[in-house]
Amino acid sequence: MTAYFRAHPDGTFHPSEATRGPWDDRFQHGGPPSALLARAVEHALSDRPGLAVARLTVEMLRPVPLLPLRVEAAVSAGGSRSVRVDAVLRAAADGTELFRARALCLRSVALAVPAVETGVVAPPPPAHSAPFEFPFFRCAEGYHRSVEIRMARGTFGAGPVAAWMRLRGPVVAGEAPTPLQRLVALADSGNGVSVVLDLARWTFVNPDLTVHLLRMPVGEWICLEATTLPGPGGIGIADTRFHDERGVLGRGVQTLFIDERREHPNAMKA
């Protein structure tokens, strides 16, 4: 399948149509550029073995166009047991800052930590889950065609769901995506799988994404057990627990900006 980005010799990354999002045909879904930032964070840690990303927060400052991008990352603070990495995604043409990320990275070693009963019920495995595709993308080619989805629990559009997802192609052409890149590319879909508002009337764009990780995923499939909570003031939260086929991985939270579609007959007039 088509990669999200192609790396060019001048240091820019050129997006494919597989990055296209659902809200506006000119702009990318949040997952691919967030995965590109995760890649930059990993590169910044390349000379610091033994550290693992425990938290990654992406601030989505502006929509990311389907145009060439630049990404930079550097360790900003820390010592031997924890460091912070800051990363920035910019438009290649004029340097406009689009996304900003900060990662908290902690030392990771093998410890005999006792198992704790969590009460979490594992979702049915991908092989026993029904195929699904996002129904709200307007273009034939886009992010929705770049992922395979299987609905494990719940009903789309009717509240909390658990959906297995995996990438059909790489984040950057010619590179196998790392476990962190795969998870971050999918994590921004929590609000997409757990829809509770009428898509014909409402939008619920997320201006941020925070991922907390217990460990890195194993295998291609990652389950998003997600719930969307809309508030009366137009602010919402999408709360997602991540699983792989070995168990719980961590958690993701998206803040949602909820608004009425202006083309809807019942929308409030500006």
| Domain extents in the chain | 5-108+128-260
E strand map for the chain: 5-7, 13-15, 51-60, 69-78, 82-91, 97-107, 130-132, 147-153, 161-167, 202-205, 208-213, 222-230, 235-244, 247-260
**Could you name the CATH architecture of 5-108+128-260?**
Beta Barrel (2.40)
How far are the Cα atoms of 1, 73, 118, 119 from residue 247, in angstroms, in the given order? 28, 31, 11, 12
Q: What's the CA gap between 71 and 93, in Å, rounded?
A: 13
SS3 197: coil
- Residues 135, 22: Cα–Cα separation, whole Å: 10
Q: How high is the pLDDT of residue 263?
A: 66
DSSP secondary structure letter of residue 142: S
State residue 246's pLDDT score: 94
- The rounded distance, in Å, linking the Cα atoms of 39 and 47 is 14
Asked if residue 185 lies in contact with residue 175, where contact means CB atoms within 8 angstroms, the answer is no
Structure tokens at 269: 């007039």
Mean pLDDT per 10-residue run, the chain (270 residues)?
Answer: 94 97 92 98 92 97 97 88 96 97 90 77 94 89 95 93 97 97 97 92 94 96 97 95 96 96 52
